[in-house]
A and B are shown apart, each in its own frame.
Chain A
Amino acid sequence: MAERAVWRWGVARCVALALALACFLSLACAPAYTWADDASVETQEDSAVDERAGFGLNGFVRYNKGAQRAVDGTDLGYRFPVADGSTVVVVNMPESIWVHVDEDAAEAAGFRADDVSDVEALIVLIKQLDESSSRGGALLADEQKPWTVTTGGEVLEGSYRYVFRAQAGEGVYTSVQPAEVPQGSTPSQAAAVSGLDLGDGALWVDNAQLVAADEVATVAAPTWQDELASFFTDLDMRPFWVSLKTSAVALAVTFVLGLVAAWKTMGTSSRLKGLLDSVFTIPMVLPPTVCGFLLLLLFGQSTGVGRWLIDHGIALVFTWPAAVISAIVVSFPLMYRTALGAFEGLDAQMLDAARTLGWSEGRIFRRLMLPLAWPSIAAGTVLAFARAMGEFGCTLFFAGNYAGETQTIPIAIYFQWMSGNTDVALFWVIVVIAFSFLVILLINIYTARSQRYRARGLSRGERRAMAEMSDGAAQHADSLEEHGGDALRIDRAALAELLLGDDSPAGRGC
């Protein structure tokens, strides 16, 4: 009973440790989120408002590049799109920054282009939104250029003419043209003649809708729970299922193949055995990329074998079966080697004895070899599963990185990090750690249970308890090896009885 309690306590401690680890890791990644304290209302991401000035901006968008392509046959020079409904166009020119405000919209929003405080308020709003939609590009706020707010349709500056809202086709564009366009020529032709690069005329363009303060789009400020919830709803869970599916199928195949290969190899002549053994083991020694490359050559279009296979309907490259094959190839040697080691460690005379009793080889394998070698086989299975789960190089080579199909967790971690989604990569790292921890824990529990018969005599906890009660004999028990402890303890007890009355209990150098 006491033993069971101690065992339970050990499990509880392990689980607590695992939880602590998970908590620590999730805290470590917490800075990826913003922790809003109050659940107040705030403006939408692409909006900003100045309550005092009485107006704000909606639907802010920043166009970092334009295009020098004709729109439905109309040449506009270098042009940027004007977003639907936008009434404010900001052009960052080489020497200055111009803000064009639509007159009607200005009036509706209560904005006056000749009021200095209104203009200043608008510029502050633009700078603020330009920064939040800059995606790391240069900022209007950092530009040391004069700002001008206008309601006029076009402006001349340097060698460029800017038309803020040029109609063409079905859309509206902000167009950059040469200052002088000769009669009968188009802006692009004129620019080509004078060697002017129209693309240099505008560094970037911002669009927004000018509205009254009470029309600015707002959203409830997201709490950290909301952000967490949205993180998990946006999260693509498919890598987990792909990983699980791939490694489980691979493990089922590896388990059978590995055992059979080990069994059959054991029975072959020594020369053939050496060859088979090398072939079966080599994927463990080779870098996974080499395995992947060889598989790609074997099944891909670049070799005759591959083309023959593809012609016969076996097109595996960059499909899910390819991921399974990769996992099988790299995990097989682990299963095979541990099983072979365990089988070879069995007493050959015992197997011969079974043969003399008329057992078939199959029966010996099932009834004798498998059960006796089971602990090693179980260990090999775990190793093979872990290897299949962690497979990266061979899978990437042979099966590629297709989300929901061949993108396993290790591949997802690499590619999410590479594309800047560090929080998603971190999430998968935590999942892998937690999952591995769970697997190891389950295995330890299973091993502890299945090998309980080995724990003869007293557990360590009980021994300690005994030592506290009578620190005489038990202390010596501590210094003894665990195996064979029973026999020695009996001797010791007998000895103590014999020498009862003597001050120093014997035991030195027994």
Chain B
Amino acid sequence: MSSMKRNKISRRAFALLGCSSVFALALTGCGVNGGQVEGSASADDAAAEETVELQIFAANSLEKAMPEVEALYTEATGVTFADTQYKGSGDLVEQMRGGAPVDILITASAGTMDDAVEGELVDESTRQDMFVNDLVIVRGGGSDVEINSLEDVANVEGNIAIGEPGAVPAGKYANQSLASVGLYTNADGEGGEYAPEIADKVSLADKVGTAAQYVSTGDCAIGFVYTSDVYRYDGIEVAYTCPDDSHKPIVYPGAVSATSKNAEVAADFLDFCMTDEDALAIWAEYGFELA
């Protein structure tokens, strides 16, 4: 009797095991099939006009404007784009070092692009300065925080959102500005300490967008972001624009990856970004000034 019962249970167990593996196989099968469909679709296109797919790594602040320019380019040329990665520029360079396939890298500081050049991750001959931006201090919409100079940052009640200087160029620029009034110890904007009056209020963000989001949700009273970030997040407004001489010039260099298999198309796209009238209108709308 009991052995019969056992048999029954074990049979059920195996039926379940079988079902789960069939299910899993079916799912992987779906994935493979999906891939094949995509593959054949792109093969068809390739027959028509040699379609390529570009993988772009772009500074986080480009997250809203870049997809619109990509859509424009796809419409004009048929070149498609893989899911573009928008992260802190330092993260992007690390990710490239880690072996991620990339065609184009656009960072938010000359320093991070220098790292990429040193690591032979990009083709230096294609490097060009694409945009310039301003560093601003933002506050939540309707907040009564008043900032009339960088020194006022020390008197702000509430937390201060700053990008993590190692990975987020905006954070590095912010620290340079703070260093200009003695609120940060290292004038390079990295590797220093915050002055005691703000040290326990600084909340470091992994992307400049995260810093903007902290302010937008009210978790931080003020944050250091780019002018262009004000146009892509709701609920934040400019409280103060950091003087240009308080930090290094903010430029966005772009370059074609050294390992790109579509280097020519990638270079064409960079050129399109800088010259096409409709693309320029999109940059202008999102507050990116051409360098």
Contacts and interface: CB of A to CB of B under 8 A. Distances in A.
B98 A67 contact: no
A245 B99 contact: no
Contacts of B13: 370-371, 374, 377
A145 interface: no
Interface of A: 61-69, 80-81, 83, 135-138, 170-171, 199, 244-245, 248-249, 251-252, 255, 296, 299-302, 306, 310, 315, 317-318, 320, 366-368, 370-372, 374, 377, 400-405, 407, 417-420
Interface string B263-291: 00000000000000100110111111110
B238 A367 contact: no
B285 A405 contact: no
A64 B6 contact: no
B10 A245 contact: no
A318 B85 CA distance: 11
A400 B95 contact: yes
A372 B95 CA distance: 47
B21 A252 contact: yes
11 contacts: A83-B281, A136-B233, A136-B237, A137-B287, A302-B98, A317-B99, A318-B101, A367-B7, A377-B13, A405-B83, A407-B83
Interface string B74-89: 0000000011011000
Given A81-B280, A199-B289, A315-B99, 4 more contacts: A68-B289, A138-B237, A320-B31, A418-B207
B236 interface: yes
A301 B98 contact: yes
A62 B285 contact: yes
Given A136-B230, A245-B31, A61 B6 contact: no
B83 A404 contact: yes
A367 B8 CA distance: 10
A318 B100 contact: yes
Given A255-B20, A318-B100, A417-B213, A371 B83 contact: no
B6 A252 contact: no
A66 B284 contact: yes
Contacts, number: 145
Interface in B208-228: 209-210, 213, 216, 227-228
B63 interface: yes
What 10 pairs across the A-B complex have the smallest Cβ distances? A67-B290, A252-B24, A301-B99, A64-B287, A371-B10, A63-B284, A135-B231, A371-B9, A403-B83, A65-B289
B43 interface: no
B209 A418 contact: yes
B10 A366 contact: yes
Nearest to A420: B233
Contacts of B290: 67-69
A228 B238 CA distance: 32
Residue among A136, A199, A374, A402 facing the most chain B CB atoms (10 A cut-off): A136
B68 interface: no
A405 to B, nearest CB: 7
Given A64-B231, A135-B231, A300-B99, A249 B6 contact: no
Contacts of A407: 83
Nearest to A403: B83
Contacts of B235: 136
B5 to A, nearest CB: 9
Select the residue from A315, A372, A402, A420 with max chain B CB neighbours within 10 A. A420
A370 B10 contact: yes
Given A81-B277, A301-B98, A317-B99, A251 B24 contact: yes
Given A69-B290, A300-B99, A63 B281 contact: yes
Contact of B24 (A248, A296, A417): A248
A402 B289 CA distance: 28
B234 interface: yes
Nearest to B229: A136
Contacts of A419: 63-64, 86, 209, 213
B168 to A, nearest CB: 13
B135 to A, nearest CB: 14
B6 A367 contact: yes
A371 B4 CA distance: 12
B27 interface: yes
Contact of B289 (A66, A372, A403, A420): A66
Given A63-B285, A405-B83, A317 B98 contact: yes
A372 to B, nearest CB: 7
A310 B98 CA distance: 11
Contact of A67 (B23, B234, B280): B280
B37 interface: no
Contacts of A402: 82-83, 85
Interface in B27-45: 27-28, 30-31
Q: Which of B21, B64, B98, B287 has the most CB of A within 10 A?
A: B98
Nearest to A318: B100
B289 A245 contact: no
Contacts of A69: 290
Interface string B56-74: 0000000110000000000
Contacts of B236: 136
A417 B230 CA distance: 16
B141 interface: yes
A65 B238 CA distance: 15
Nearest to B287: A64
B231 A136 contact: yes
Contacts of B63: 419
Nearest to B55: A402
A131 B21 CA distance: 56
